[in-house]
A and B are shown apart, each in its own frame.
Chain A
Amino acid sequence: MGPGVSDPAFWSRFQFAFTVTYHYLFPQLTMGLAWFLVYWKWRALRSGDRRFDQAVRFWAKIFGLNLAVGVVTGIPMEFQFGTNWAGFSRYAGGVVGQTLAMEGMFAFFLESAFVGALIWGEKRLGPRYHFVATLAVAVGSWLSGYFILVTNAFMQHPVGYRIEADGSLGIESLGAYLLNPWAWVQFAHNQMAALVTGSFVIAAVGAFYALQGLHPMQARLCLRAGTCVGLIASVLVAFPTGDQQAKMVGRHQPVTLAAMEGRFVGGPMAGVAMIGQPNVAARRLDNPIELPGALSFLAYGTFESYVHGLEEYPEDVWPDNIELLYYAFHLMITLGTLFIVLMAYGTFQSWRGRLESSAPLLWVLMLAFPFPYIANTLGWMTAELGRQPWLVFGLFRTREGYSQVVSNGDTIFTLIGFVGLYFVLGLLFLFLVGREIARGPGEVAAAPRRAEQPA
């Protein structure tokens, strides 16, 4: 069952996984930062306090770079549905095409019309319309997230469709499809996770300045906003959204839940493994240290609840990479818990007014920013590996979905192209963002075009 390197489905999956994982490093920050910008812009508009304007100008530059890479790496994703997943497009395009089209038509037009004005158009627009532009970009970015999550939710838990005479799927109810309960839960969970990324990045930059004694006003602003929003978002990621997400998996994909926990034998009082390595060949979890009953309680509400084991299902519906799925899920949970602890402590110190003077905490905050990216990626790995071997859960297998006419040579060629291009893009992005952070928000006021700031 393991994917071999001569298998075209393997290379198309690898390519999609690579391009989408890389792409999603950027939108999560876009969606996370967008509401900070809206908030600061609003504060600036209401109070005329120049600190907020300065914060918006500084973060808008990082936002712009981030959004640009997000946009250019996002466009290939839509086209890959056709190029590498023609089987899937034929089968389910009549349904998922609705939201992919809506994403472009409703969300991207909104976002792209206003983003240039947000970053460079403060003078052309004036403060009021500049606020409108900021809001429009934030709404557009979250809207696009929703349409994509509806698409993914259909693949996880198909609703609102009917099977046509030729065996393909057609849309039956647009309302049911757009309001898929899976989509709402996943959207809430995912957007909170994006806010966590945004908060950690903002807090990290604040800590970087505070540790050097640079830009004290902006450092303070970033640290306070970053830790406070970071705490709220980290808690919301776990509860209720993460909790609901796991319950949803337990209800609709019990085999996935079993694989996520490395549970081969079903039964009541199912535990959550704190430590343990899944051994699929021997069908057990090696060296387990479990919290007894926790999984039964979390997934189904009581400690006595029965949790299914993998052995209750035929092997051909088991997720095909149980080990990676297990680790992705467990590392995500571990990181999420640490985020709550860190941000709770940070908020507590900020409330006591000791955040800027607490060097060890600032060091941790400064170095912590990569971990929400890792946790977000692990979350998506859990969702997508957990869905296997299905492309549309229970209806259509991943193996049936790839483009038959595309050779491995073509897929590997384009994969190499993406790896090379994205590597350079990543270096460029880090270099330019690093440069903006090094220049800092202080210099913004000195730059010639921003000389005539609104008071």
Chain B
Amino acid sequence: MIAVWYCVVGFMLTAYVVLDGRNFGAGMLHRAVARTPEERRQVIGAIGPLWSWHEVWLVGFGGTLLAVFPRLMATAFAGYYLALFLILWGLILRGIAIEVGGHIDNRLWQEFWDVVFVFASFLLAILFGAAAGNLARGVPLDAAGNFSMAFFTNFGVRGNVGLLDWYTVSVAIFAAVVLAAHGATYLTMKTEGGVHERSEAWARRLWVASGPLFVAISVETRIVRPDLPGPAVHNPLWALGLLVVVISAAMLVSGLVTRRELRAFVGSNGVLFGLLGTGGVTLFPVMLHSTLVPGNSLTAYAVASTPRALFLASIWWPVAFVLANAYFVFISRRYAGKVSVQRDNQGFY
């Protein structure tokens, strides 16, 4: 049961990153792919009416984490204190920039919010990347199961670490590149004209760049955590995750080469999903790894709620999950196809 809930919570966070990652990517590239006000409206229209639905995956993740792993939420959120607030502020800025940027038909107004949008998207991609790096590297958990982490200490990866060090910074850079590539792939599919062409060029460039970065990150991870992947390689889910990555990467490459936009985007989603999923399987059952003493690490079994809480949640959660996706399918079908600025004045009045 606890392992299942570990998967559910991991799935929700992964779904959030994959879904909102495209918006971060589109946001980071906003000024690069869209040159005119009309083109910028295409980008905002492509992010579409569902960006807040994407963001709800993060909210749903937070709530579900509290319900099924309350002690983890308490430890991790208090420990990652400053980083989390930066993420929250970034999300506020990003949301507001999307919503109000088109309210006034004035060049200065729109340029201001465009820049806020780009800045917040970069900030979020980098912070989520650093957060992923922190999950892999571990945090300075003490014997009581608490930690409090500074932004940075000595940029080393052992002992009393900070949020940023050479490893987490490089994961953050990798995340920014991959999410930008993901966003570019999405924009390629959703737009026409100049935005489409520039997005396509960016998608190729960024995906090519992410290959060597991925190799570098893998080597770094091996140095930082020589104990990984460890016993996880015997888990069939681990192999499945890698298989998803390989197949998706093949789809992505062939989609990019043959200009099959949907195939490329499905591949792009699959690559992110597979990478994060494999990472989750590798870390299981540890949810927070201690850089001080491995024995201080918090496993899913140590932080889980009562069996009754897990049982009750497993009754209603699947219902809510099916409903949530039904709404998504309903709305997505209505917004299928390329963005039309005439029809979709998302965010514009």
Contacts and interface: CB of A to CB of B under 8 A. Distances in A.
Pairs A-B, 6 closest by C-beta atoms: A116-B49, A93-B70, A82-B77, A97-B67, A97-B66, A101-B63
Interface residues of B, number: 70
Given A83-B77, A405-B79, A405-B81, 12 more contacts: A64-B99, A72-B92, A82-B66, A82-B73, A93-B70, A94-B309, A104-B62, A108-B59, A112-B50, A116-B48, A119-B49, A164-B306
A72 B323 contact: no
Interface residues of A, number: 74
Contact of B50 (A81, A98, A116, A119): A116
B285 interface: no
A171 B312 contact: yes
B96 interface: yes
Interface in B78-121: 78-79, 81-82, 84-85, 88-89, 91-92, 95-96, 99-100, 103-104
A101 B73 contact: no
A120 B103 CA distance: 13
B334 A124 contact: yes
Nearest to A95: B309
B317 A97 contact: no
A414 interface: yes
A93 B73 contact: yes
B5 to A, nearest CB: 11
A108 B88 contact: no
Interface in B312-337: 312-313, 316-317, 320-321, 323-324, 327-328, 330-331, 334-335
A92 B73 CA distance: 12
A127 interface: no
A102 B320 contact: yes
A136 B330 CA distance: 12
A211 interface: no
Contact of A109 (B68, B104, B309, B320): B320
Q: Which of A72, A84, A87, A436 has the most CB of B within 10 A?
A: A72
B155 to A, nearest CB: 21
B71 interface: yes
Given A78-B62, A109-B323, A425 B92 contact: yes
Interface of B: 48-53, 55-56, 58-68, 70-71, 73-79, 81-82, 84-85, 88-89, 91-92, 95-96, 99-100, 103-104, 146-148, 305-306, 308-309, 312-313, 316-317, 320-321, 323-324, 327-328, 330-331, 334-335, 342-347, 349
Contacts of A87: 74
Contacts of B55: 71, 75, 112
B interface majority secondary structure: helix
A interface majority secondary structure: helix
A171 B78 CA distance: 23
A113 B331 contact: yes
A227 interface: no
Contacts of B60: 101, 104-105, 108-109
B312 A98 contact: yes
A363 to B, nearest CB: 29
A83 B75 CA distance: 8
B70 A97 contact: yes
A87 B145 CA distance: 13
Given A72-B96, A104-B62, A113-B327, A120 B49 contact: yes
Interface of A: 61, 64-65, 68-69, 71-73, 75-76, 78-79, 81-84, 86-87, 89-90, 92-98, 100-106, 108-110, 112-117, 119-121, 123-125, 129, 136, 164, 168, 170-172, 174, 403-407, 410, 413-414, 417, 421, 425, 428, 432, 435-436, 447, 449
A170 B58 contact: no
A97 B308 CA distance: 13
A72 B64 CA distance: 19
A405 B309 contact: no
A224 B321 CA distance: 41
A113 B48 CA distance: 11
Q: Which of B50, B53, B64, B67 has the most CB of A within 10 A?
A: B67
